[in-house]
Amino acid sequence: MTLPLRLSTVDDTRAFGAKLAAVLRAGDLVVLAGPLGAGKTALVQGIGSGLGVRGPVVSPTFVIARVHRGGRLPLVHVDAYRLHSLDEVDDLDLDVDASDSVTVVEWGSGLVEQLADARLEIRLSRSPDSDERTLELVPRGGDWPDRVAGLA
């Protein structure tokens, strides 16, 4: 576990996402946790920018999953907020693109861990009276601890 990072603005959150993109590889699973407004989508926007994907990265709340192509790696962006079971996650067939893509799942804790043996969990929170966000990186297996060590 890394020390919590303080990000003063939403732009800082996006900038951290772009920095994180530099260490991402095909097959990576990143699981985002945090309340509404904590900065999950802003972080994914930064990851998309850092990967160089085409088009805007917006929350896939109503479509559940979007694939962004055209960059160094495809980005599969999932919003699991409305999913309630492992069966519903399996119905998305996310593992089809998983080995060739970076998969980032908002609200995925407890639902998508079976998609990869190793993953990076990111916990976000937001100060109630400012735009400051706190981000905590939690590497789970593989070489994630080494890869995220330089990001803090």
State the average pLDDT over residues 25-39.
Answer: 93
What is the model's pTM? 0.90
Instruction: Summarize the confidence of residues 112-123 as an average pLDDT.
Output: 88
84 versus 14: the higher-pLDDT residue is 14
Q: Mean pLDDT in the chain? A: 87
Residue (of 150, 66, 54) closest to 103 by Cα position? 66
- For residue 126, give the 3-state DSSP assignment: strand
53-67 core/surface letters (b: 16 or more CB in 10 A; e: else): beeebebbeeebbbe
Q: What is each CA distance from 33 to 11, 40, 53, 55, 72, in whole angstroms?
A: 19, 8, 23, 24, 25
Looking at residue 92, what is its pLDDT?
Answer: 66
Q: Which helix (H) or strand (E) holds 98?
A: helix 95-98
Q: What is the average pLDDT across 53-67?
A: 79
